[in-house]
Structure 1
Amino acid sequence: MEIRLDREKGRPLVEKIINGHGASVDDLYLRRQALQFSLHPGFDTLLSLTAVRDMTPFDYQIRTVRHVLANLRGRALLCDEVGMGKTVEAGLIALEYMLRGLARRVLILAPPSLVSQWREEMQVKFNLDFITYDDPAFKAHHEPWTFFPRIIASIDTAKRESHRLQIGAAAFDLVICDEAHHLKNRRTQAYQLVSQLQKKYILLLTATPVENDLEELFNLITLLLPGQLETAAAFKKKYITRGDALKPKNTEELKALVREVMVRNRRSETGVILSRRYAETIRLQLSPEEMAFYRRLTHFVRGFFIDGQDKPQGGASLLTLKVLQREIGSSIEAVLPTLTKMAEQPSYAPEMRRLFAALLEQAKKVPHRAKADALVQLLRGLNDKVIVFTGFSETHRYLVRRLTEAGFAVAQLHGGMKRLEKEEQVRYFADVAQVLLSTETGSEGRNLQFCRCLVNYDLPWNPMQIEQRIGRIHRIGQERDVYIYNLSAQDTLEAHMLELLDAKINMFQLVVGELDMILGNLKENQGFEDMVLNAWLQSADEREMEAQMDKVGDQLLEAKNHYLAVKAIDERLLGELVPDE
């Protein structure tokens, strides 16, 4: 075989000298592909299992991946119960196709809140670098959807007219849609977008494919295999009981069709999450000086919100004021650098700088740290290894010093550390230290399941961040019960937030993954943290604040009840439609 260059036409001319017969470039490419496939093992042997990092997939996940690859031909509805690791299954399938040369261009569509989580998991567990739709490099490119080979995007962004045409012109080897129940209505722009994408393989991930009507299941399956369930009218006539949109008929025939595209793993069958969560709230009183400062700062911040100003007089932004309110919920130490910066900010009006300077001086004079005292007392009573979480680097530094002075061996994780430094600290915690002080960014991707006790020194305003903290130790593979301790200073925003999450939806008793499903059902356009913050800051007095908080709590409870109703429907229907193997 020799390759000659046709200089007149400017392209390679490939000839195969066998018995005087020539072979085209397409023939050569097909022969090369056939040779590659002959060298690769079948799907019974997964190449991806040797390429993953810091992760050992469970048997049911491996079975799912093999089944999707070998039998469902890469088009599947992954309906594992919440918390069972659908992301791991999708990542393994994507990696397997890439390693075998069957996929290069991959598009992951997810809710905005999960985009960064997908990027982290793909990088940490599968060593796959994706670019996100909000990355500056993505935004700067004139044709990003066709240029970048691996993209993670919000489906809300992707369906916009400014993006839809370019996405439609791009060809993808694999499309993954997370929280695919949002695609249940075929009349929506999101459904039409996914339906029209050029794609070879597609995975739809959802724990609740049916909410109101069996036609929602029809719509999702039609995205995977158009015609699998015939037309919408034929499906309704043949498989839905008249007068009851949630009651199937001709069930055995429908089962057989659904099983050709759906995989459903149940927690009760796999037994991979057997441990339970136990949560305790450690209620404490701030010292008089701490409470006086907390109230003064809150009054200072609340004044601008009650006035409804978009830009407070004097130059300070509302974002800055929100940061102050978050920081004081953690510690005096967290708020000091911000106050110092604000007091010296030349763009602020003199009266604003003086207000910040006065707050700074008052903060410096606060002599006691009641929450730190409570932490030391708690740790001395726990005969076990403990992870202490804080969301602020200054609080982290203070606690390292305070706990070391109290005689504890302390390991630490924070975002400023390099990967090898983090691994060294995790080993130190596993072998020697009783306490690991960590920030959210510090613990990302760390396997900390050898520990079962966690302290929330401060509470993030986003409940999913609380869930992610707990998820570092209460996850698939944890064999021991997990104990969570929440430090709660009375009469603070964080105390009210904790009360809502615990009393209204029993957050700390939820199964892994359920909180995300509940928060996704909130009817407000704003997220939970903004709902709570507005209730706190826009209330003129304690009575009004209590009333506003009750409204937020009622919405939380309504969202939870909606989730439980949908869950019950799915368990009944999928139990009928997808029998045990």
Structure 2
Amino acid sequence: MEIRRGSILKGPFWPEEIKVSYVESLGDSRVRIEAVGLKTQRFYNPILSVEDLAKVEVVEEAPFRFNADGEEVFLYLESLRIRNAYQFDPLYAVSVSQIDPLPHQIEAVYYYMLQNPRIRFLLADDPGAGKTIMSGLLIKELKYRGLVDRILIVVPGHLKDQWLREMKEKFQENFSIVDRNTINAEWGRNVFTEKNQVILSMDFAKQDDVLFALKDSYWDLCIVDEAHKMSAYKYGQKVSKTQRYYLGEVLSSISNYLVFLTATPHRGDPENFRLLLDLLVPGLFANVDILSEAINNKENPLFLRRLKEDLKNFDGTPLFPPRKVETIKFHLSEDEKRLYNAVTEYVEKHFNKALEKDKRNVAFALTILQRRLASSTRAIRKSLERRYERLKELYEKGKFIQEFEYDEDLLEDLEERERWREEEELLEKLTSAETLEELREEIEKLATLVNLAKEVERKEVETKLSELKKVFEEKKIRQTGTKLLIFTESKDTLEYLVEKLRSWGYSVAYIHGGMGLDERIRAEAEFRNRAQIMVSTEAGGEGINLQFCWLMVNYDIPWNPNRLEQRMGRIHRYGQEHEVHIYNMVAVDTREGLILGRLFDKLSQISSQLGSDKVFDVIGDVLGGKSLKDLILEAIANKRTLEDILKDFERINDEEALKRIRDVTLEALATRHIDLQRVLGDQRKAIENRLVPEYIEEFFKRAADKLNIKMQKRADNCWRITEVPYIIRDRSYNFKIKFGEVLREYAKVSFDKEIASKTQAEFVAMGHPLLEAVVETIQQNYSKSAEVGATFTDPSGQMDGIIWFLEVEIRDGKNEIAGKRLFAVYQHIDSSLSFINPAILWDLKPEANTSERSHVLPDKNAVVSFVITNGVEKYKDELFEKRLRVAEIKRKYGIRSLESMILESDNKIV
């Protein structure tokens, strides 16, 4: 039996007939075969012994009789075109997702990431650039190209729901959140090997048992949001790695494609940045000098950064309108000042005592109390009451708690609901008291403070609330109906503000961390459609988009500046049409307020010199490496006088601060030019070549007729699908993992994303389980018909010949798919050959089982030779050229790095 290229084989070693593309003899007794399944297009690479070969049958290729059912052949070939649509549409994922991406997003995905044969990439655009959108586009494109199935997304804990929601709503991609409950429910099994699309919290993933389970899994694509958190630092010759960095090393080893997302890649430390890139391609940049050379030469195949001010709409106008940040400075009333001083003295005393005894979590608990004090009288009163009641309860039981474990980094990244629970646990239970007598004295002091807070609250003199009312009057909120967003850290303050604002006659919506995702979405919709005011805790700063509002008040100021930038990003984002106004409320006769007021003055000064407002998330760098929180705690604990701390601001050299900001924001790395003309050109090409919704809809209707799917047109221009037969619903386990279940019926679907968006219909495009199941059923059932061929009539009477469809696959040296392309060739009546648009079948009328056909004799060998010479070679050269530049850059810096590491090793030996 002779097996050669082009042979069709049948045997027990694969579940379908396969077509051989390569044969290699391994000695006298074995043969290695490369082949593709005729039904599934799956790649097979078996090594067969002489005994195995005896069980294999060479199937004669069906002759081209051209008498198969024309409709079956049409549906089969059109299903091939649909599966290969990304080859003709340069922006295919855009066409089948419910998004309208911006030029910089298209550029990042299509001109940078997808140009890499093995994507290992850092996307470091400024906040608000839409990195989730770019990730979704990348996922869709890689899935359509058959390059990824298993996808892992690692994010800070508080962003899990946002990613889950955006992947589902915008890209119809179903992910599962894996947390401790999931792992406990799957005890004894590795959930990471069983689920194909997983979202995972970074700080959950870094735990030892989770890392151990992750190491046993492998992912086609891993995306890490806020990747800068996976940090390592070099001190002399020693590298200090955080636990998150160890997680990064594991992710790098278990992923084929790896994408890091961050808006703050290196915090002004080039070595820290180099170590982050080392997770993507280990050893490419052995030291900072080699990395700096690559940056200066604009040879950076690993990363892309664009600054907010460079981002543009398709018409070239700036993407983000200006934003103005103002500080509303006010003084507390006498009663408020008395309460503030009393609580701060209590915090100072017990904070310092806790630090002396190295009880850091007690000290941390007291800082929570100080933040509540700055938030509102209601918040501090309720916090003091809860602490008083719990400590009293412990005293009556004759015990007290001084320590229990917590991780401040982990606490910062928890979802707000969890963070509140942990903070309350710390605040209500921990004490610096070491004897019951000390505990009794502390409880008595708390009772005094509670009474003082109640007295202030009873007088209803909250200066900050009066200042808020002035904002309402100045901006004529009531008269104009302008929407306003108010942020606070405390749920108690939120409830207080909602009460007050409603009593003033305003319609108010609210969002806080105790609400589920569905409740938050409803609150967002209520604010958009009905309510004039939204009051939100930090939960509203995560994953909620409110660009229809342009006024915002920070009723209290978070000590973590990143949260301040997150809050502002809810309204200062793409889609905002107004200049954004943000007000920070600061009591300047308090210790923290005095520092914040002076800081905001300095930031305003630097911002005007910089010509940009991107200073809030780099406050630590403006302060020369000190954190805002550290400065405030120094003031609260009286470690330094306020005068001394305020002199720190006077000592800030504006030029040095500007340089630090530019370094930290990686201005030197930024790609300042976006190739708008290229994007517009590809957009026009996409419109010309994409599978328009009408074609997909018509294909589905014709398939439905053939496969007995019952569908009815609705009055709103959508479709009701009343019955999907079992043969289509009966999909494999792998299909269900990849696309989801196919339902028996669908109440409202549309094949047009604009109609789907307007009518809230289910959008059916590639990736939707129903359409994928129909395409798969057609390819399984009608492949034989396509092999035989069918006869079509040209209504125009111009065509008389044979149309050939050839699917070509090019593989690289690692035997991985480098590219695929579908060619259609027209063999004329005189046997001459030319390429033709694969969509030509839409212009022809299929005939059923006809004996009439063209008199042209099929010449398969000539067609294959024509495609290789005129199509494949050119395509191969395109692929080679794209890979060559990236390979040359990696080779250049890889060799330099290798030489550097050898030299370093030699010096150590000497």
Aligned equivalents of 2:342, 2:377: Cα separation in 1: 13
Cα separation, 2, equivalents of 1:422 and 1:249: 43
The structure-2 alpha-carbon separation of the partners of 1:498 and 1:100, relative to structure 1 and needing over 3 Å to count, comes to farther
**1: CA distance between counterparts of 2:490 and 2:272?**
47
Query: Which residue of structure 1 lines up, in the alignment, with residue 85 of structure 2?
Result: 42
- 1:103 corresponds to: 148
1:75 CA displacement: 0.5
State the distance in 2 between where 1:562 and 1:79 align.
21
Cα contact 2:93–2:137 (8 A) shared by 1 = no
Query: Equivalent residue for 1:326?
Result: 371
**1:56-205 alignment, distance < 5 Å:** 56-67=100-111, 70-73=114-117, 75-79=119-123, 81-83=125-127, 84-97=129-142, 102-108=147-153, 115-127=156-168, 128-129=174-175, 131=177, 135=180, 137=182, 149=196, 150-152=198-200, 154=202, 158=206, 167-178=214-225, 190=245, 193=249, 197-205=253-261
SS at 1:175 equivalent: strand
TM-score (norm 2): 0.50
* Alignment-derived partner of residue 370 in structure 1: 463
Letter in 1 for 2:83: H
Match of 1:544 in 2: 641
SS at match of 2:259: strand
* CA-CA distance at 1:504 after TM superposition: 4.2
For residues 14-43 of structure 1, give each alpha carbon's deviation from its aligned partner in whole angstroms, at most 9, with x where no partner exists.
Answer: xxxx99932423767955542798752433
Matched residue, 2:719:
none
Residue matched to 1:10: none
Tell me: CA distance 1:80–1:335, structure 2 relative to 1, closer, same or farther (3 Å).
closer
User: Is the Cα contact below 8 Å between 1:456 and 1:485 reproduced in 2?
Assistant: yes
Q: Give the SS at the match of 2:125.
A: coil
1:501-580 maps to which residues of 2 (within 5 A)?
Answer: 501-506=599-604, 515-516=616-617, 519=620, 528=627, 530-539=629-638, 544-548=641-645, 550-551=647-648, 561-565=659-663, 567-571=666-670
Write the distance in 2 (CA, Å) between the matches of 1:418 and 1:487. 29
Distance 1:247 1:304, change over 3 A: same
In the TM superposition, 1:185-334 aligns within 5 A as 190=245, 193=249, 197-205=253-261, 220=277, 223-224=280-281, 246=292, 255=299, 258=300, 263=304, 265=306, 267-268=309-310, 270-271=312-313, 272-309=318-355, 317-334=362-379
Residue identity in the other structure for 2:475: L
| 1:97 CA displacement | 4.1
Partners of 1:470 and 1:512 lie apart in 2 by: 11
* Gaps in structure 2 of 5+ consecutive residues: 1-6, 18-35, 43-78, 169-173, 396-438, 477-481, 679-910
| In 1, Cα distance between equivalents of 2:178 and 2:614 | 23
Following superposition, the deviation at residue 374 of structure 1 comes to 1.4
Residues 109 and 523 (structure 1 numbering): CA distance in 2 closer, same or farther, change over 3 Å? farther
Tell me the secondary structure at the aligned position of residue 461 of structure 1. coil
Distance 1:40 1:165, change over 3 A: same
Look up the match of 1:7: none
Report if the CA contact (8 A) 1:175-1:202 is conserved: yes
Kept in 1, the 8 Å contact 2:124–2:303? The answer is no
SS of residue in 2 equivalent to 1:61? helix
* Distance change in 2, residues 1:376/1:579 (3 Å): closer
- Contact 2:487/2:556 (<8 A) preserved: yes
CA distance in 2 between counterparts of 1:334 and 1:118 reads 26
Cα displacement (A) at 1:559: 7.5
Work out the CA distance in 2 between the residues paired with 1:497 and 1:89: 39
Q: Are residue 397 (structure 1) and residue 386 (structure 2) matched?
A: no
Equivalent residues in 2 for 1:21-36, closer than 5 Å: 21-25=10-14, 30-31=37-38, 33-34=40-41
Structure 2 counterpart of 1:413, which letter?
A: I
| Aligned residue in 1 for 2:593 | 495
Which structure: larger Rg?
Answer: 2
Moved more, 442-451 or 422-431: 422-431
One-letter amino acid matched to 2:383:
T
- Whole-angstrom CA distance in 2 between matches of 1:488 and 1:249: 42
Q: Secondary structure at the match of 1:293?
A: helix
The residue type equivalent to 2:463 in the other structure is A
Which residue of structure 2 lines up, in the alignment, with residue 356 of structure 1? 446
CA deviations over 1:480-503 (Å, ceiling 9, x no partner): 211011111122244135235424
The alignment-based identity, stated in percent, is 27
Alignment RMSD, CA only? 4.8
The 5 Å alignment of 1:405-444 reads 405-417=503-515, 421-442=519-540, 444=542
Deviations 1:195-253, CA, capped at 9 Å, x for gaps: 961322122445687978899779949945x89xxx769xx9xxx9xx998456995xx
Change in 2 beyond 3 A, CA 1:184/1:553: farther
Secondary structure at 1:306 match in 2:
helix
Q: State the distance in 2 between where 1:529 and 1:38 align.
A: 57
| Paired letter, 1:277 | R
CA distance in 1, matches of 2:563, 2:270: 33
Question: What do residues 234-293 of structure 1 show as CA deviations (whole Å, max 9, x unaligned)?
Answer: xx9xxx9xx998456995xx75xx56x655555425345331111111111111111100
Deviation at 1:350, TM superposition (A): 3.1
Kindly provide the amino acid, as one letter, of the partner of residue 562 in structure 1.
Answer: R
Partner residue in 1 for 2:394:
347
What is the CA deviation profile of residues 467-488 of structure 1, one whole-angstrom value per residue up to 9, with x for unaligned ones? Answer: 1111110012323211011111
Q: 1:336 aligns with which of 376, 381, 384?
A: 381
Deviations 1:119-178 (A, max 9, x none): 243112113545467x465599676765665253549974x9877666544312112345
Query: CA separation of 1:80/1:232 partners in 2, compared to 1, >3 Å: closer, same or farther?
Result: closer
Contact 2:153 2:224 in 1 (8 A): yes
Distance in 2, Cα, partners of 1:460 & 1:480: 25
Structure 1 residues 323, 455: closer, same or farther in 2, change over 3 A? same
Stretch of structure 1 that moved more, 140-149 or 330-339: 140-149
Q: Report the CA distance shift for 1:371/1:353 in structure 2 as closer, same or farther (over 3 A).
A: same
User: Structure 2: which amino acid aligns with 1:373?
Assistant: S
CA distance in 1, matches of 2:93, 2:454: 58
Distance 1:37 1:116, change over 3 A: farther
Match of 1:4 in 2: none
Q: Residue deviations 1:524-573, cap 9 Å, x none?
A: 7xx83541342123215xx62442465599799877643413534324xx
CA contact 2:305–2:669 (8 Å) conserved in 1: no
1:332 touches 1:363 (CA, 8 Å); kept in 2? yes
* Mapped partners of 1:560, 1:411: distance in 2: 40
Gaps of 5+ in 1: 1-17
For residues 82-106 of structure 1, what are the alpha-carbon distances to aligned partners after superposition, in whole Å with 9 as ceiling and x for unaligned? 2223343123323554577643433
**What is the number of equivalent residue pairs in this alignment?**
532
Bigger CA drift: 381-390 or 318-327?
318-327
Aligned letter for 1:350?
A: R
| Kept in 1: contact 2:592–2:636 (CA 8 A) | no
Contact 1:173 1:200 in 2 (8 A): yes
Measure the CA separation in 2 of the matches of 1:485 and 1:372: 13
Query: Is residue 485–residue 535 contact of structure 2 (8 Å, CA) maintained in 1?
Result: yes
